[in-house]
C-alpha cells in the first residue's frame, strides 16, 4: 500500500471530456471562506468508496428525482435504470450501493461524471442542500461546514508522519499528486514563533519523506515552500510548509521553480539558449 494515499484508478481527469458539449466542473476554491455570508471551511467527511470515473466536482447534494442545475452532486443509496437519466444534469455521483459494472456506473463513465459507488453512509451523512467537493480519484468527499476555527487545529486530518512538533498531512486540494503539508502541532501564525527545534525536525521529516517519495515515484525532486501573508497566497493563518513532489515531464519547462508563481516577475527568468 502506498504511503501517500490511494493509487488512482485511472488518469487524472478534471471534469468531463472536452468532446461533450456540457459545462466542466472546476476545482473548488480552496480559499473559500464563506457561502451566503456564513463563514465555512472544508471538512473531510470520511466517506469513501470505489471510483468508477476519476475526477472532481463541486456542488450541492440532490436526491434522485429532484431538480438539478448541472452542478449538483447526486447522492443516493442506489439508482434504478429509470432513475439513471437524472445523471444527465449532475456534476458528480455518490452511491451507497452498486459496482463498477452497474448501469449507473457505466452511464457516469460515458458522461464523464466523477462517480463513487459502495460509499457507505453517504445518504445518512449528506443531506440535500449540503455543499460538497467530490474527489473520486482519491475516493474522498469533503463538505463545507461552518468555520469554528483553524482547520489544522479542529479538523481530524489523517496523519501520515510526524514528530513531537510537526505532523504531515495530505493537502485537501493538491497541486500535484502526493502534495503534502508539514504543519506545526501548536497554532503558530508567524515564522518568528518557530524554534530551532522546529527547523531541525523539519529537516529530518523532509529527508524521510523524500526517501519514501523516491521509492514510490522514482524521483527525489520536490518543491518545499511556505506561504506567509495574504499577498503570498496564504489562506490559513496557521504556519505550514508545502511539499510538492516533482516528476520528470510533469512540466514542460520547470526552470525557475517557484519563481513562476509570480505572474509578473520583476526580472523574468532567462529563456534557454
**Domain final residue pick, 130, 146, 162:** 146
What percent of the chain is predicted at pLDDT more than 90? 39
Give the bridge partners for 161, in sequence order: 168
Does residue 26 belong to any structural domain of this protein? no
Full domain range(s) for residue 202: 151-261
Give residue 38's pLDDT band: very low, low, confident or very high (50, 70, 90).
low
Contact assessment for residue 222 and residue 210, using Cβ atoms and an 8 Å cutoff: yes
pLDDT tens digits, one per residue of 222-266: 999 999 988 888 888 899 999 988 888 777 777 777 776 666 666
142 lies in the same domain as 163: no
Give the C-alpha separation, 20 to 7, whole Å: 27
Beta bridge partners of 181: 169, 242
Of 131, 146, 161, the one marking the end of a domain is: 146
Q: Does residue 5 form part of some domain?
A: no
- Pairing type for strands 34-35 and 38-44 reads antiparallel
- For the residues 90-119, what does the mean pLDDT come to? 92
What's the pLDDT at 249?
Answer: 79
Domain match, 135 and 168 both: no
Instruction: Give the residue from 146, 172, 191 where a domain finishes.
Output: 146
Q: What are phi and psi of 253, to 5 degrees?
A: -140, 85
The stretch 68-72 carries a mean pLDDT of: 85
* Secondary structure (DSSP) of 212-262: HHHHHHS---EEEEE--SGGGT--SSS--EEEEE--TTSSS--TTGGGGGS
pLDDT tens, residue by residue, 157-215: 889 999 999 999 998 888 888 889 999 998 888 898 899 999 999 999 999 999 988 88
| Count of CB atoms situated within 10 Å of the CB of 88 | 12
Pair (118, 166) in one structural domain: no
Provide the pLDDT for residue 25: 40
Number of domains in the chain: 2
Question: Is 33's pLDDT higher than 60?
Answer: no
Full DSSP string of 87-115: GGGEEEEEESS--TTSHHHHHHHHHT--E
Residue 3 confidence (pLDDT): 35
Higher per-residue confidence, 36 vs 220 = 220
Does one domain contain both 159 and 188?
yes
Q: Are residues 90 and 165 in the same domain?
A: no
Query: In which residue are the cell numbers 503558530 written?
Result: 188
To the question of pTM greater than 0.85 for the whole model, the response is: no
Higher-pLDDT residue of 81, 202: 202
C-alpha of 41 from chain center: 13
Amino acid at each position: 500500500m502506498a504511503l501517500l494515499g490511494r493509487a488512482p484508478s485511472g488518469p487524472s481527469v478534471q471534469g468531463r471530456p472536452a468532446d461533450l458539449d456540457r459545462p466542466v466542473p472546476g476545482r473548488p476554491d480552496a480559499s473559500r471562506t464563506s457561502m451566503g455570508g456564513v463563514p465555512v471551511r472544508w471538512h473531510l467527511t470520511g466517506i469513501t468508496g470505489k471510483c468508477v470515473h476519476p475526477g472532481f466536482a463541486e456542488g450541492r447534494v440532490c436526491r434522485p428525482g429532484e431538480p438539478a442545475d448541472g452542478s449538483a452532486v447526486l447522492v443516493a443509496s442506489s439508482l434504478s435504470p429509470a432513475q439513471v437519466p437524472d445523471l444527465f444534469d449532475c456534476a458528480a455521483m455518490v452511491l451507497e450501493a452498486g459496482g463498477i459494472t452497474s448501469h449507473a456506473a457505466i452511464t457516469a463513465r460515458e458522461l464523464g461524471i466523477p462517480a463513487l459507488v459502495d460509499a457507505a453512509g453517504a445518504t445518512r451523512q449528506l443531506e440535500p442542500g449540503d455543499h460538497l467537493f467530490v474527489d473520486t480519484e482519491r475516493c474522498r468527499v469533503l463538505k463545507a461546514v461552518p468555520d469554528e476555527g483553524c482547520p489544522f487545529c479542529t479538523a481530524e486530518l489523517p496523519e501520515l508522519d510526524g514528530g513531537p512538533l510537526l505532523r504531515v498531512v495530505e493537502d485537501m486540494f493538491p497541486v500535484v499528486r502526493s502534495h503534502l503539508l508539514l504543519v506545526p502541532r501548536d497554532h503558530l501564525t508567524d515564522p518568528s514563533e518557530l524554534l530551532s527545534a522546529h527547523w531541525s525536525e523539519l529537516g529530518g521529516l523532509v529527508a524521510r519523506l523524500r526517501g519514501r517519495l523516491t521509492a514510490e515515484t522514482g524521483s527525489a525532486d520536490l518543491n518545499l515552500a511556505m506561504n506567509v501573508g495574504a499577498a503570498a497566497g496564504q489562506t490559513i493563518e496557521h504556519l505550514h510548509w508545502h511539499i510538492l513532489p516533482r516528476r520528470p515531464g510533469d512540466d514542460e519547462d520547470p526552470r525557475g521553480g517557484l519563481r513562476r508563481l509570480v505572474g509578473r516577475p520583476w526580472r523574468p527568468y532567462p529563456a534557454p539558449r
